[in-house]
Structure 1
Amino acid sequence: MGTVTIGVSIAVPEPHGSLLQERRAGFGDAAAHGIPTHVTLLPPTEVEAGRLPAVEAHLTEVAAAGRPFTMRLSGTGTFRPVSPVVFVRVAEGAEVCTWLQQRVREASGPVARDLLFPYHPHVTVAHGIDEAAMDRAFAELADYEASWPCSGFALYEQGPDGVWRRLRDFPFGGCTVVPPQAAPVDHGTLPAF
């Protein structure tokens, strides 16, 4: 069956997602249009394709334990000189993102893994481009602000063309979701974090 490269993230909704993606492309980041604007919960991870059902079952459990929360972005930061990245900061919701990513990667789950760097939720707006463009991204988005109610996360797969595509959404427990045709709706709620 082979392997696939997957990732788990919280999508930045419209109009914010497209705006930040266009800004990223404008700074000269060639990968911008292949990467939906997001906050990572599981970085690119290679898994056996046959393990995807187990991954989806695990993510369903993680999401069921979550609750909707406010995600707020504010200002910029950078990982330079350790890593050539400029990002928009997660000013509200970082603790929940940290909790979620720990559960996604838990040792007993199908995508257990260590990280190269300590987890720091963020939205990348420039990666691996020249220093002047990184400085421009840092300065031009320094006053950027956005917020939205976050109601879940998604599983993505990277195609052979390098483009990330959403495979499935995982709504948090307590969210009302419009089901596909004739499926029952579970309106149960779970305690807050």
Structure 2
Amino acid sequence: MPRRRVAVALLPPAGLSAKIQAVRSLLGDPRIDRLAPHLTLVPPVNLADQDVEQLQGLLRSVASATTPFTLTLGPVSSFSPDTPTLHLAVQGDLAALRALREQFRVPPVNRPEVWPFTAHVTLRDSVPADQIPPALHLFTGELPPWPVSRLYLLEFSPLNKAEVWLPIIEEPFEAPVVVGRGGIELLLRTVNLLEPRVAQLFTAIGCQLAAEEEDLSGLMLVVAERLERPGVPVAAAIGTVAGKTAELLQFCVNSEHRLVGIGRQVLMHWCAEAARRGAMRAVASYPLQADSLLANSLLANSVASEATTSLISAAEVLQGCGFTPVGRSMLRELLVYSGE
């Protein structure tokens, strides 16, 4: 049976990641395009599908019970002479970091340690010995604080003939919101990562999300799951928040869960999350069609007539959530975040 190679890590936010990438570029890291800056909690391990599913459950359980904490990165350091690496030292709330890591010292990922755990963010994993001393003077300060607020599951995958590590699941340090008590109970998660399992919702209605799209750091998604089936998305809304404006790019509901109010729950929560991030208004294309979404580099094609019908009817759902037609767009004033 094929096994999947996965790891659990913390990924720094986009601005901090860009600064780390700049240092990696100066050092000529050959893996710079194949592995994002990260802090490893669970080193790469090969797992069967059922064990990956178990790990996903562990990831959510741990993340839901973890309080955000802050780390700082720098200066450049090395594990030489044991290993010829260059990395950023990690400081800050190391007690919280170690406590987080200890929660993953359980099956299916508990493995004997080759080296004692020392938190670090790798810059280059193999450097000629004579280049290490001067490289330590490349950056002797600290990068801006890193507010750690989510976990990621990474998977080793071939992409465009290159072997890369891709984040496939994001779990924020907060429990999913439960809505619909007494009816269709849903778990709502707010994430920044377009997970493959969420992308499949859109491909199922004929909307091909661009797998090669690299910069999705500005996204905000609300993903819905049935309470009795955590980890299986049934609906999602995707958009961005920039300043006082939130732009809804797309939303969809699994064909088996339509016309029961799930779309409205997802959209209302997406608007609430946008307001919590400082947005005063939400804007959407009118109607939501593939050609308007192409401009946002999220859809590669939309060929099925059923998909087109679904996208057009989205306007009616938006109006039911308080959006008003304004020219070729739809607008909803969010005012002040009220936890709706």
**Category of TM-score, reference length = shorter chain:** 0.7 to 0.9
* Paired residues for 1:53-68 under 5 Å: 53-68=53-68
Give the aligned partner of residue 45 of structure 2: 45
Deviation sequence 1:7-60 (CA, Å, 0-9, x none):
111101122212212321331221122111011101111111332211100111
Give the aligned partner of residue 112 of structure 1: 110
What are structure 2's unaligned runs of at least 5 residues? 178-188, 191-221, 224-235, 237-264, 270-340
* Paired residues for 1:113-132 under 5 Å: 113-132=111-130
Contact map agreement 2:16 2:143 (CA 8 A) in 1: no
Give the aligned partner of residue 185 of structure 2: none
Contact map agreement 1:68 1:175 (CA 8 A) in 2: no
Give the aligned partner of residue 166 of structure 2: 165
Contact map agreement 1:58 1:110 (CA 8 A) in 2: no
**C-alpha distance in structure 2 between counterparts of 1:174 and 1:60, whole Å:** 8
Q: Which range moves more in the overlay, 46-55 or 79-88?
A: 46-55
Give the percent of matched residue pairs that are identical in Structure 1 and Structure 2: 24
Structure 1 position 85, deviation (Å): 1.2
Tell me the TM-score normalised to structure 1 length. Answer: 0.85
Q: Which range moves more in the overlay, 56-65 or 126-135?
A: 126-135
Contact map agreement 1:125 1:137 (CA 8 A) in 2: no
Task: Indicate the structure (1 or 2) with the bigger Cα radius of gyration.
Answer: 2
Structure 1 position 133, deviation (Å): 3.7
CA 1:153–1:99: 2 relative to 1, 3 Å: same
CA 1:17–1:137: 2 relative to 1, 3 Å: farther
CA 1:174–1:64: 2 relative to 1, 3 Å: closer
Deviation sequence 1:41-82 (CA, Å, 0-9, x none):
011111113322111001111112211111212312211000
Tell me the TM-score normalised to structure 2 length. Answer: 0.50
Structure 1 position 4, deviation (Å): 1.2
SS of 1:111's partner is coil
- The code of the aligned residue for 2:145 comes to S
Contact map agreement 1:39 1:122 (CA 8 A) in 2: yes
Structure 1 position 173, deviation (Å): 2.8
Give the aligned partner of residue 276 of structure 2: none
Give the aligned partner of residue 32 of structure 2: 32
What are structure 1's unaligned runs of at least 5 residues? 186-193
* Paired residues for 1:68-83 under 5 Å: 68-83=68-83
Contact map agreement 1:25 1:33 (CA 8 A) in 2: no
Structure 1 position 95, deviation (Å): 1.8
Contact map agreement 2:86 2:126 (CA 8 A) in 1: no
